[in-house]
Chain A
Amino acid sequence: MWSSPFILKPSSVSGIMLRVLLALLPAVALYVWYYGPAILVSMTLASVTALSVEAVMLKLRDRPLKPFLSDNTALLTAWLLALSIPPLAPWWLVVVGTAFAISIAKHLYGGTGNNPFNPAMVGYAVLIISFPVQMTHWLSPIDLSQASLSFGEQLQYIFSGSLPSGTGFDAVTMATPLDTLKTQLHLHRAVAQIMQMPIYGHLAGKGSEMVALGFLIGGIYLLAARIITWHIPLAFFGGLLFTAEFFHLFNATHYASPMFHAVSGASVIGAFFILTDPVTSPTTPKGRLIFAAGAGFLTYIIRVFGAYPDGIAFATLLMNICVPLIDAWTQPRVFGRKKDDQP
């Protein structure tokens, strides 16, 4: 039946997702600048895998292909996952992670809009649990590596696993700045001392801090375009910085500065692109504050006291579990009613 409203604001899910993809481009550009073009290969691999698996799952679930394949959500999951895992990883790593994210984490829960957990982070969690070695060796920034690989050589490694003769794997990769900090702290070195190592730049890892800047630029665009609200990024950094500051004040030689944590690892992409996934985050403003502050706190705890170098993925998944409860708790007051007024 034809009924009101008869007009619609020109907007669409695919348009929103497309703008989020665009917002990732500054970071991707800086990534290529600092680490070489390997990331483009893994992003392409992830995209192709995501769309193929999405198509197969839609077919199996007897859903129309076109509207869902073109909604750009699978593409976004693919890009976020590719940007979270080491760029110089064997091809099957990114394929397995993406396929798991789309098929299990997304479609088995009902597809777009119904998944309780962030698919990209589920993919990441599966990979880091299953393949910890491949997941912790990152490509060194170009100006830090002892030997640099050409694009062809990077391709060759990704698809065949072999490096040019005479080049060791350790010569082109290194542990992430967060990982390095952790291992060095185990060797009883002070934070200030560790920060003098060549892999660290102004605030965090050389190169990675610039990529974080790219994510920040994209995040500001998302805020300006009103695709995300300020609640999640602000509360996430609040939770992370507050916890980091607490430990930093307590013992500065053993606990890195809040700024280091804010810029390191997946903090910035997490704050603006991962935690803000509308499907898996709370819907109320107050709920978003609680959700993101909790994620910030958990990220720090997992990073510093946990076994894994970064905590964004697990913090996100843990907070995803709480979303229905947070939503139920934080229902806003309805027009003209008192708080907790029953109809």
Chain B
Amino acid sequence: MRKLHHFHGGVHPPTNKTQSTQTPIAPAAMPQRLVIALHQHAGGNASRPAVQVGDHVLKGQIIGLPEGRFSSTVHASTSGTVTAIDRQPVLHPSGLPDLCVTIEPDGKDEWIERRGVDYREMHHTDLRQHLRMSGIVGLGGAVFPSDLKLYADKRKIKTLVLNGAECEPFITCDDMLMRERADQIVLGAEIMQALLYAEEVVIGIEDNKPEAIAAMQRAIIAGNYQNMEVVAVPTIYPGGGAKQLIRVLTGIEVPHGVRTTEMGAQCFNVGTAYSVYHAVTLGEPLVSRIVTVTGNVEHPQNFEALLGIPVTELVAQAGNKPDSNGYIMGGPMMGVAIPSAEAGISKATNCIIASSPALFPPAPPALPCIRCIRCAEVCPADLQPQELFWFTKAKELGKAQEYHLFDCIECGACSYVCPSHIPLVQYYRFAKSEIWAHEREKDAADIARERHEFRQERLERDKRERAEKLAQKERAAAAAKAAAAAKAAATPEPATTADPASAPAETAKAADPAQAMIQAAIERARAQAAKVKPKNIENLTPAQQAKIAEIEARRAKIREIARPDAGQDEEQ
């Protein structure tokens, strides 16, 4: 029996999971159109469109190609016609539209030619490239490109953790996937284990999912896996956070800013393992995922939904109730309010909760913090949320950073328990974005300062060079003079020569042309000056000229009187 470890804090919100586990996963009906976002992975660049409007595409055909390292591939979720490539609402909290490919299905759902490979006979680099081209990203919600995570630096990964904890209330997509398709998850885990050279695979599942635990255990026994183990972990939110689960299963604490691989563990969602199997062995790129549709609907259940199906259509299939007033993507603890329900679901959409005023009543107005530290008691990162709140409110962001603001995983446990109903997580998000903005500004200022300094240096250098040139010329002139003097006097005296050593014969010979050049330059400068002289006093009438002469005469007189020695002269 594996020794389990603890992480600090955690909360027990009502799980609300049984509603959506009553019926098996159902395929979602084909919608009228699919709106597939081209940016469905974490960070980096959006995928580059690889089709044009009017193209006929097959299911699994690439419609977006990776752009840069932190990018991934996007595929057509069904066969049909590309009707638009434009900016559409996407499932991002910002509410900003992003580039999407709209496909009108032809109803045939016709696959491209699927070519599975045997991972054992493939070079790992090629296998990773295959996963990248299959659009495999983390399906737990973070959608980080999996090929980048499936790289074992110096073979130092001991444990591959498969995350089936699913600690967020309401969400059951991983639970149902494990119940129904455990064998395929395990086959995917086998491929991942090979890529990471991991000694063992540990599948962590919260103990409120006995069916899933049993199904996964059966699959491991059936596949006769030696180094694969299912571990029931305590049901506590956020026990399914990657760092928390790694801690519970292995005892390793991964600090903020350190990659888990460096600590000897790597963590993937069970849904990702399932997709890896489909991509590698069956040659099916990621075109669908399991989505829990629950909350204020008639039939909460899980759908196998094609990527790009609009949220409204998916929710309608579960029987949306008329008093639904919004939709949440993800769970109630860390999910995001969907800005537009017309957006198509993405690889990150594990759950859609239809909300109603009864289900999620608005928070009562916030009262002052009474430092009761219920927040600190539940913080899984061992932070002092009340101090972070205090510093953020006072805009002492440096102090907030000192108290490890960036170690906050925004799990929401602090806000959940706060008796003063302070939206703590929002304060931390604000503080983080303020600090980021400040750093960006600072970077910009640094660049500007560098530019300024560089310019300053360049000007200095120019000045120095000019001064040197001038000095050279003066030396040359002096040498020439000396040479001329030497010529004139039959017996030159060394003492009268300015610097005989630096005035060789050549310089002396060149003296005259140099003098001419200087003269020419002076002439040019005079001409230039004359050219730019103000021309206000040209072409004047005689009257004006007389007036000017009069003024000039007066001025001359004043100058005469004002001259300090003038008065003295008179006195004397």
Residues in chain A within 8 A of chain B (CB atoms): 1-9, 11-13, 15-16, 67-68, 71, 73, 110-114, 278-279, 281, 283-284, 327, 331-337, 341-343
Contact = CB atoms under 8 A, between A and B. Distances in A.
A335 B7 contact: yes
15 contacts: A3-B425, A4-B335, A5-B334, A6-B332, A9-B416, A67-B365, A113-B369, A278-B370, A283-B371, A283-B384, A336-B253, A336-B256, A341-B255, A343-B401, A343-B407
Interface stretch (B40-48, B373-381, B504-512): B373-381
A336 B326 contact: no
When A and B form their complex, which 5 residue pairs have the shortest distance between CB atoms, in order from nearest?
A: A336-B255, A5-B412, A113-B368, A336-B253, A6-B332
Interface in B3-23: 7-8, 11, 13-14
A278 B406 contact: no
Interface string B319-333: 000000010101011
B387 interface: yes
B532 interface: no
Contacts of A279: 370-371
Nearest to B244: A335
A291 to B, nearest CB: 13
Contacts of A283: 371, 373, 376, 384, 386-387
Given A283-B386, A336-B256, A337-B404, A278 B337 contact: no
B369 A7 contact: no
Given A335-B255, A336-B256, A6 B402 contact: no
Contacts of B151: none
Contacts of B384: 283-284, 331-332
A3 B93 CA distance: 9
B436 to A, nearest CB: 14
A333 B384 CA distance: 10
Contact of A7 (B7, B360, B367): B360
Contacts of A332: 382, 384
Given A7-B332, A67-B367, 17 more contacts: A1-B426, A3-B425, A3-B426, A4-B333, A4-B425, A7-B333, A9-B13, A11-B374, A112-B367, A112-B368, A113-B367, A113-B368, A113-B371, A113-B420, A335-B382, A336-B243, A336-B258
A4 B412 contact: yes
A342 B405 CA distance: 11
Chain A CB within 10 Å, residue with most, of B258, B382, B426: B382
Contacts of A13: 367, 370, 419-420
A342 B253 CA distance: 17
Interface residues of A: mostly helix, strand, loop or mixed?
loop
Contacts of B368: 110-114
B181 interface: no
Contacts, number: 138
A18 to B, nearest CB: 11
A281 B386 CA distance: 13
A7 B420 CA distance: 14
B150 to A, nearest CB: 23
B398 to A, nearest CB: 10
Contact of B13 (A7, A15, A68, A73): A7
A8 B407 contact: no
A69 to B, nearest CB: 12
Contacts of B423: 3
Interface string B30-62: 000000000000000000000000000000000
A110 B369 CA distance: 12
A337 B330 CA distance: 29
Given A67-B367, A278-B373, A343-B406, A7 B255 contact: no
Given A114-B368, A336-B243, A12 B419 contact: yes
A5 B407 contact: no
Contacts of B404: 334, 337, 343
B419 A342 contact: no
Contacts of A334: 381-383, 404, 407
A110 B368 CA distance: 10
A168 to B, nearest CB: 46
A71 B382 contact: no
B491 to A, nearest CB: 81
Given A331-B403, A336-B243, A16 B253 contact: no
B355 A6 contact: yes
Residue from A11, A111, A335 having most chain B Cβ neighbours under 10 A: A335
A339 to B, nearest CB: 11
Contact of B254 (A4, A71, A336): A336
Contacts of A11: 374, 417, 419
B570 to A, nearest CB: 78
Contact of B380 (A113, A284, A335, A342): A335
Contacts of B163: none
B169 interface: yes
B390 to A, nearest CB: 10
Contacts of A284: 376, 384
B421 interface: yes
Interface string B387-413: 100000000000001111111001010
Contacts of B410: 4
A115 to B, nearest CB: 10
Given A3-B426, A8-B421, A342 B402 contact: yes
B471 interface: no
Nearest to B406: A343
A8 B415 contact: yes
Contact of B360 (A6, A67, A110, A281): A6
Given A278-B373, A334-B404, A335-B253, A2 B337 contact: yes
A119 to B, nearest CB: 13
B363 interface: yes
A113 B370 contact: yes
A1 B405 CA distance: 22
Interface string B467-480: 00000000000000
A65 to B, nearest CB: 13
A341 B403 CA distance: 10
A8 B256 CA distance: 27
Contact of A337 (B7, B14, B335, B407): B407
A4 to B, nearest CB: 5
Interface in B258-287: 258
B112 interface: no
